Amino acid sequence: MKDIPDDDFEPEPPSARRVAARALILAAISCRALIEDDAAKDGAEELRASILPWLESIGTLGEAESSEVDLIATPLGALDDKRGLNVSWRSEGMAALAWVLNVSDLPPVNIQCEPSDVANCLGFLDDAENTPIQNPRLRDAVTIKNLTNTYLTLHWRLRQHSLAPSPIDFVAYASACTWANMRLDDLEIVDRDLAIDGVRIDRVSEARYHEVCSITQERHQALNWLMGFEELYSQVTTDT
């Protein structure tokens, strides 16, 4: 069950400027992870070395956590493989925030974003006036909350499947749920259960299941950060 905040706790969502800064930080660390194998390519190391000065020049470096700064500062070819893979998935959080900022569409829940396309929409490595930091505007709070609940619903079913890999009446469960506002909007349903690519979840390949789990985890974290339960992005949980 999802943890319920104490009655006295009032979450404070980040400002629109912080959302823009966080989206650009996620673009930066995603780029750094994705170019790890390009050390031998002309200009690749120069690209990496330009990221931190760029973040500072547009006034967003202060949003970066120390681990993110260290990641970007690591020369190409020196990044741990596992860490690089994990960080590359941050592009999905970037995509969620880019959607919130109205600068990019968000792909369906089962489709990975195109990191370079989203980063370009955010003005990655461009002048500040060509990024959302200049005049950030967010989608309305109800729309954001609805999408957050959709990803909570999806994440719950994915995790429940890992514990008990058999079909359930997901439609009935979501309808009767009292601990969260479950939403089936934008989710595929086959035989009253969650489906991926039109295939009921218990029949989806393991590789495809884990891919959708990774997409969901990162977007859910970004959306939960927007709810304001944690100041630091890395500390945001995706409890279900």
Residue 240 lies in a domain: no
Same domain, residue pair 151 and 122: no
**Predicted local distance difference test score (pLDDT) of residue 118:** 98
Same domain, residue pair 21 and 119: yes
| pTM of the predicted protein model | 0.94
Same domain, residue pair 75 and 111: yes
**Predicted local distance difference test score (pLDDT) of residue 198:** 97
Contacts 24+ apart (CB under 8 A), 193-199: 193/167, 193/168, 193/169, 194/154, 194/157, 194/158, 194/161, 194/170, 196/110, 197/110
Report the domain count for the chain.
2
Among the three residues 78, 106, 130, which one is the final residue of a domain in this structure? Answer: 130
Residue 9 lies in a domain: no
- CA distances 77 to 71, 80, 167, Å, are 12, 9, 44
Same domain, residue pair 43 and 122: yes
State the angle between helix axes of 206-227 and 16-34 in degrees (0 to 180), rounded to the nearest 10.
150
Same domain, residue pair 22 and 95: yes
Residue 38 lies in a domain: yes
Residue 5 lies in a domain: no
Same domain, residue pair 64 and 148: no
Distance CA 77, CA 154 (A): 36
Instruction: Give the rounded distance of the alpha carbon of 95 from its chain centre.
Output: 6
201 close to 213: Cβ distance less than 8 angstroms: no
Same domain, residue pair 189 and 105: no
Domain membership of residue 123 as a residue range: 16-130
Beta strands in 51-192 (DSSP E): 188-190
Residue 34 lies in a domain: yes
**Predicted local distance difference test score (pLDDT) of residue 7:** 55
pLDDT by 10s per residue, the chain, length 240: 445 455 566 789 999 999 999 999 999 999 999 999 999 999 999 999 999 999 999 999 999 999 999 999 999 999 998 999 999 999 999 999 999 999 999 999 999 999 999 999 999 999 999 999 999 999 999 999 999 999 999 999 999 999 999 999 999 999 999 999 999 999 999 999 999 999 999 999 999 999 999 999 999 999 999 999 899 999 999 998
Same domain, residue pair 107 and 73: yes
Among the three residues 76, 107, 130, which one is the final residue of a domain in this structure? Answer: 130
